[in-house]
Amino acid sequence: MRRCPCVRDQPNVSGHGAGLRVRDDQGVAASGCDEGDNRGRRCCPANREGEQRKCDEGALYEPTPPGQSVIDGPPSLSFHFIKMIKVVKLPSRYPRRKGTLGLSGAATHAVLYLTKEEVQRLLLNTIPRAAIRDALLFDLMYHYGLRREEATLIRREHVGDRIWITRVKRGESREYPIFARTRRLLRSHLSTVTDVSNPYLFPSPQTSGASVSMSLIYQGFRRYAEAAGLPANRQHPHVLRHSIAVHLMNAGWDLADVQKWLGHASIASTLIYAKVSNTRLDKKFRALRSTEVAAL
């Protein structure tokens, strides 16, 4: 391999610097190399002596000369460092998923949700009555479509005639009416609170003044989901959010109403549930058959 005149061998010293090749400032001036590039990419001028000479951009190391052992005296390294050229390919900020495109241009994917029977089996038949905190936690997560983080943000002061839900991911926070069963669970749970200095509705059992961790919520749901016999790919607490969205769509709720209930900032996020549910479309079609449009 041709050596560039601006690169010289490191003095014969032992250790990690043995045999390294470095850029020589005197060699730079003598050879007319471009001093502005300190990585040696244009260390040899293209028109010097009418010959196009460039450093080998693809070579990172120069092998040890034949007959010289790695364990021989200096240089002791098996490779001489020439230069390092690192190419990094940055991922797209919004990678495209395979599938159909929604209103926002983002691809849609399969929505995993529970049927009403599976939700009833989980909330009413699997969670013990003595586990009031867990019963209230997953009741709230289902009825209000809570993410785990949103459940940890609920404070006792947020509960009254209505309940305040703080949304994350730039969602719209608002007050919600309280279901009858949810109110009964709230009364039972609040009557068992002993640490009044902790403001959260679900206090952490380990850390004073903190809310329950998202990992504990996941572990608790996973345990109950397995006991309820739910499919393995639906044993994540976020499936409750998908479930209430699909159930509301099947109940005939308007797309904009489901958007507000879930706290979506964009209706495009709610559109994926409309693709799952065809109930509203079927009802509209049955009503359409009795109109003049169907006779055309």
Q: What is the pLDDT of residues 148-181, one digit of tens each?
A: 999 999 999 999 999 999 999 999 999 999 999 9
- pLDDT > 50? residue 50: no
Q: Which of 53, 73, 89 is the last residue of a domain?
A: 89
Residue 93 has a pLDDT of: 53
Residue 91 has a pLDDT of: 54
The values of phi and psi at residue 273, to 5°, are -75, -30
- Mean residue pLDDT of the chain comes to 75
C-beta pairs of 62-71 under 8 Å, 24+ apart in sequence: 62/1, 62/21
Q: Is residue 108 part of a domain?
A: no
In this structure, are 237 and 138 located in the same domain?
Answer: yes
Place of tokens 């109403």: 257
In this structure, are 217 and 135 located in the same domain?
Answer: yes
Q: Is residue 61 part of a domain?
A: yes
Residue 60 has a pLDDT of: 41
Q: Is residue 107 part of a domain?
A: no
Q: Extract the tokens encoding 189.
A: 């749970």
Mean pLDDT value across residues 98-115 = 60
Mean pLDDT value across residues 28-57 = 45
- Count of domains in the chain? 2
Q: Which of 70, 89, 108 is the last residue of a domain?
A: 89
- Which residues form the domain of 233? 116-288
Name the most confidently modeled range: 11-25, 54-68, 213-227.
Answer: 213-227
E-only strand ranges, 60-177: 61-63, 79-81, 162-165, 174-177
pTM for the structure as a whole: 0.62
CATH value at residue 235? 1.10.443.10
Let me know: does 221 contact 235? Beta carbons within 8 Å. yes
Residue 295 has a pLDDT of: 54
Q: Is residue 95 part of a domain?
A: no
pLDDT in tens, 214-271: 999 999 999 999 999 999 999 999 999 999 999 999 998 999 999 999 999 999 999 9
In this structure, are 31 and 126 located in the same domain?
Answer: no
Q: Is residue 257 part of a domain?
A: yes
CA distances from residue 258 to 73, 75, 94, 112, 248 in whole angstroms, order as listed: 76, 71, 25, 17, 7
Q: Which of 72, 89, 106 is the last residue of a domain?
A: 89
Burial of 179 (C-beta count, 10 Å sphere; 0-12/13-18/19+) = middle
